[in-house]
Amino acid sequence: MPGELLRVVTAGSVDDGKSTLVGRLLHDAKAVLADQMTAVEAASERRGYQGADLALLVDGLRAEREQGITIDVAYRYFATNRRTFILADTPGHVQYTRNTVTGASTADVAVILVDARTGVVSQTKRHLAVTSLLRVSEIVLAVNKMDLVDFAEDVFDQIVTDFSSAAANLKVDHFTPIPIAALSGDNVVEPSARMPWYAGSSLLDFLENVEPVHDPDLPARFPVQVVIRPRTTEHPDYRGYAGRVEAGVLHRGDKVQVLPSGRVSTVAGIDTPDGELEFAPAGRSVTVRLSDDVDIARGDLIVVDGDPQPVLTRELTATLCWLTDKPLRAADRYQLRHTTRDVRAIVDGISSKLDIETVSSIDADELDLNDIGTVRIRLAEPIVVDPYSVNRSTGAFLLVDEASGATVAAGLVG
C-alpha cells in the first residue's frame, strides 16, 4: 500500500493487556477526546475499578465490557505528525486464529503481546505463525507488564530467546523486541526511565519510523471488477475495465494478456475522473482502456507481459486457515473466491497441519477451527494465480460455504 497509511495488527492471549496497550497508545498519542475519556472514567467507576480502565475505550460491545474481554476485531484510527495509522485489535480467545488472520491479512506491522510473567506460550507461537504465514513484513514482540517483574532485563532476555527459536522454526528472519508496561505507559509512547538497560525505541517511535517491505516487483496484475459502458451521447463507444492494480505498475502502452482467454492487447489509456494517468502503481483504483475490442468480463485478469508469469490452473496446493466450527474433510465442496472470480472447488485431500507446540508439520485428515493445514484443491474452472509468497493479492483466496454464505477458510496459494 503506498502513501503514509500504516496498517498495524495487535495480537496476544487473554489478559496480556492488548486493549490496555491500544487504549494507552491512543491516549498518549492524544487521539482520545475529552468526552470519550469522561465516558471511560464514568464506566470504570461504575464497575468499581481503580482509575480509568483504558481497555473500555476499545471494547465496543456490551458483552465485551460486561465480561472484561475483547470478542471481535476492533479497528482504531489515529495520526501523528509522521503517519496515519489503522490499528486492528484482535482478541486472543476462542476464535483466536480467525481474528488474528483477519487483522493480519491487511497489516504492514504486527505487534505480538506477551505477558512478562508467563513468557512465550502456545498462543504466542500461533500468533507468530499466523503473522509470518500471512507475510506481515514487520513483527514487534511487545513484552508487557514489565512493572510486574521489577523491570528485570534477564526476564526480557529469556522471552526474546524463546521467541527467537520459534521464529527461526518459522523462517522469520527478523523481529523487534520492546519491553513495555502498557498500564503505566512505559516505552509505549515515551521512553521508560525505569528500564535504562533498554536502548531501543518506544513502540510508537518504532511504528512512526518503520518502513515495511512491500511485495516484490511483479509485472502488473489487474483483476477486472466491472465493465464501464456509459452508452451516452457524450461517450457513445466508451468501453473501460474498472479495477484495482494488485501488483506492479501498470503503464499506458503496456503489452498485456487477458486471462484466462489468453488474448493479447495494449493499454490504450488509464482513466480516472480526475484525468488520464501515464501509469498506476499497486493499490490504485482506475479504469483501463485497451486498444483492441476484446471480450472481457468481471473475473478476468489483465496481466502485463513479463516474468514471473502467473499460473493458469485448475488445481491448487494451498495453505488453509480454517475459520469455522464444522471441520474440513476431504471431498468437501465450497465456492472459492479469488480476486474478482468465483469458482466451485473440491478439497481433494488434506496433506498436513501445523502443530503449534512444536511449530512443525504433522499428518492430518481433517482441519478443525483454528487449524492451519496444507490441502490440495480441484476447481471447476481455471483461475490465474501467483504464489502467496510473491503476491498477497493474486495469491490469496477464500472458501465460502455455498448454503450459508459464510467465509470458512482463508487460503494461501503454495
Partner 1 sequence: MTAVLPPRTTAGLERAWLTDLEDEAIHIIREVLGQFERPVLLFSGGKDSIVMLHLAQKAFWPSRLPFPIMHIDTGHNFAEVIDYRDRKVAESGVRLIVASVQDAIDSGRVTETPGGIRNPLQTIPLLDAITSNRFDAVLGGARRDEEKARAKERVFSVRDDFGQWDPRNQRPELWDLYNGRHRTGEHVRVFPLSNWTELDIWAYIEREDIEVPGIYYAHEREVFERDGMLLAVTEYTQPREGETVHVESVRYRTVGDATCTGAIRSAAATVADIVTETAASTISERGATRADDRASEAAMEDRKRQGYF
User: Under rule CB under 8 A, which residues in 22-61 are in contact with partner 1?
Assistant: 29-36, 39, 43, 57-61
Q: Are 307 and 274 in contact (CB under 8 A)?
A: no
Nearer to partner 1, 76 or 353 (CB): 76
| Helix (DSSP H) and strand (DSSP E) numbers for the chain | 7, 23
Nearer to partner 1, 43 or 294 (CB): 43
Instruction: Tell which one of 10, 19, 20, 102 touches partner 1 (CB under 8 A).
Output: 102
The C-alpha cell that represents 282 in the structure block: 499497486
Q: Residue 190: beta bridge partners?
A: 186
Taking the complex as a whole, the smallest distance from the CB of residue 216 to partner 1 amounts, in Å, to 17
Task: Give the helix ranges, DSSP H, for 184-225.
Answer: 203-209
d(CA 152, CA 65): 32
Nearer to partner 1, 228 or 311 (CB): 228
Nearer to partner 1, 5 or 362 (CB): 5
Nearer to partner 1, 26 or 114 (CB): 26
Which span sits near partner 1 by CB under 8 A: 166-174, 181-189, 195-203, 267-275? 267-275
Nearer to partner 1, 38 or 161 (CB): 38
Binding to partner 1 (CB under 8 A): which residues in 379-408? 392-393, 396-398, 400, 404-407
Binding to partner 1 (CB under 8 A): which residues in 106-145? 106
Binding to partner 1 (CB under 8 A): which residues in 301-360? 323, 335, 337-340
d(CA 127, CA 412): 17
Taking the complex as a whole, the smallest distance from the CB of residue 152 to partner 1 amounts, in Å, to 35
Q: Are 274 and 287 in contact (CB under 8 A)?
A: no
Taking the complex as a whole, the smallest distance from the CB of residue 104 to partner 1 amounts, in Å, to 9
d(CA 165, CA 298): 45
Binding to partner 1 (CB under 8 A): which residues in 167-226? 225-226
Closest by CA to 204, choosing from 329, 119, 79, 38, is 79
Q: Are 396 and 307 in contact (CB under 8 A)?
A: no
* Secondary structure element (H or E) that encloses residue 336, with its range: strand 333-338
Nearer to partner 1, 87 or 256 (CB): 87
Taking the complex as a whole, the smallest distance from the CB of residue 214 to partner 1 amounts, in Å, to 13
Q: Are 222 and 250 in contact (CB under 8 A)?
A: yes
The C-alpha cell that represents 193 in the structure block: 526511565
Q: Are 253 and 304 in contact (CB under 8 A)?
A: no
Nearer to partner 1, 3 or 262 (CB): 3
DSSP reduced 3-state for 129: helix
Nearer to partner 1, 33 or 264 (CB): 33
Binding to partner 1 (CB under 8 A): which residues in 72-91? 72-84, 86
d(CA 20, CA 17): 5
Nearer to partner 1, 226 or 264 (CB): 226
* Secondary structure element (H or E) that encloses residue 34, with its range: helix 34-46
Taking the complex as a whole, the smallest distance from the CB of residue 92 to partner 1 amounts, in Å, to 15
Taking the complex as a whole, the smallest distance from the CB of residue 23 to partner 1 amounts, in Å, to 11
Q: Residue 221: beta bridge partners?
A: 247, 303
Instruction: Give the burial class of 311: count Cβ atoms within 10 A of its Cβ; 0-12 exposed, 13-18 middle, 19 or more buried.
Output: middle
Taking the complex as a whole, the smallest distance from the CB of residue 87 to partner 1 amounts, in Å, to 10
The C-alpha cell that represents 65 in the structure block: 465490557
Nearer to partner 1, 200 or 260 (CB): 260
Taking the complex as a whole, the smallest distance from the CB of residue 82 to partner 1 amounts, in Å, to 7
d(CA 361, CA 414): 15
Binding to partner 1 (CB under 8 A): which residues in 223-242? 225-226, 228-230, 232, 234-235, 238, 242
DSSP reduced 3-state for 65: helix
Report if residue 410 touches partner 1, rule: CB under 8 A.
yes
C-alpha atoms less than 13 angstroms from C-alpha of 364 in its C-beta half-sphere:
23
Q: How many residues bind partner 1 (CB under 8 A)?
A: 81
